[in-house]
């Protein structure tokens, strides 16, 4: 059995040589929030963090990741979808079909770790994930919103609710309780 550390937990898995990390996550560990989009590191739907760095897991052999390295998937970003990036995404209703959004969120989180106050150019350079629905403008807006919230959290400034962020950013009305 091989070992990985995923979302803070040491896990064992068994897979054939050369199996990409993506398919170990999805098929061995049941973490299907990370998506297969292209298999050749072009679309970013499979983005996870390895020691905080955004990595395209479809092109990364699982065996190349050491058991001491910390892998974070979308499921491990926060216990309940409350990471500031997730909150901003929800506030601005970023996802359409949503399939690429795990990868988008993981790429954006890694970007904000590097650059807490990114410029539009920083976002252009870091966010090379493909979204066929075309959510880019809201992705950009949500990254800026999350950056402000994270800065406020760091400096003890005022944090905002999802409803407040939705209202002030895109005039979106959030009603607690309604769900699909």
* Residues in 41-100 at the binding interface with other proteins, rule: CB under 8 A: 42-43, 45, 73-75, 77-78, 80-81, 86, 89-90, 93-100
**Which residue in 27, 51, 114, 164 binds other proteins (CB under 8 A)?**
27
Helix, strand, or coil here: 13?
strand
Work out whether 31 is an interface residue with other proteins (CB under 8 A): yes
Helix, strand, or coil here: 66?
coil
Closer by beta carbon to other proteins, 152 or else 163: 163
Footprint of other proteins on 104-143 (CB under 8 A): 105, 123-125, 127-140
Q: Phi and psi at residue 23, in whole multiples of 5°?
A: -80, -25
**Which residue in 35, 49, 56, 148 binds other proteins (CB under 8 A)?**
35
Q: Say how many residues make up the chain.
A: 180
Judged by CB under 8 A, how many residues of this single chain contact other proteins? 78
- Provide the minimum distance between the beta carbon of 90 and other proteins in the complex, in angstroms, as a whole number: 5
Neighbours of 152 (CB within 10 A): 14
Closer by beta carbon to other proteins, 44 or else 156: 44
Work out whether 7 is an interface residue with other proteins (CB under 8 A): no
Footprint of other proteins on 141-160 (CB under 8 A): none
Bin 3: left if φ > 0, else alpha if -120 < ψ < 50, else beta: beta
- Provide the minimum distance between the beta carbon of 38 and other proteins in the complex, in angstroms, as a whole number: 5
- Provide the minimum distance between the beta carbon of 135 and other proteins in the complex, in angstroms, as a whole number: 6
- Residue 165 and residue 117: Cα distance in Å, rounded? 17
For residue 3, what is the enclosing H or E element? strand 2-6
**Which residue in 5, 21, 23, 55 binds other proteins (CB under 8 A)?**
23
- Residue 123 and residue 109: Cα distance in Å, rounded? 11
Residue carrying structure tokens 């399939």: 99
Please state at what angle helix 136-155 crosses helix 84-91, rounded to 10 degrees: 130
Applying CB under 8 A, the span of 49-57, 64-72, 149-157, 170-178 interacting with other proteins comes to 170-178
């Amino acid at each position: 059995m091989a070992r990985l550390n995923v979302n803070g937990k040491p896990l064992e898995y068994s897979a054939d040589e050369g199996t990409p990390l993506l398919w170990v996550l999805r098929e061995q560990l049941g973490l299907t929030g990370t998506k297969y989009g292209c298999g050749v590191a072009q679309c970013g739907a499979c983005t996870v963090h390895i020691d905080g760095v955004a990595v395209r897991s479809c092109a990364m052999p699982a065996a190349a990741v050491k058991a001491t390295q910390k892998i974070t998937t979308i499921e491990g970003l926060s216990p309940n979808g409350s990471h500031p990036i997730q909150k901003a995404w929800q506030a601005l209703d970023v996802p359409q079909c949503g399939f690429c959004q795990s990868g988008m969120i993981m790429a954006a989180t890694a970007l904000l770790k590097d650059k807490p106050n990114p410029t539009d150019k920083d976002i252009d350079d870091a966010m090379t994930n493909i979204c066929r629905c075309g959510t880019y403008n809201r992705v950009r807006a949500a990254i800026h919103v999350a950056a402000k919230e994270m800065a406020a959290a760091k400096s003890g400034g005022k944090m905002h609710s999802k409803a407040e962020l939705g209202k002030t950013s895109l005039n979106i009305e959030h009603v607690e309780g309604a769900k699909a």
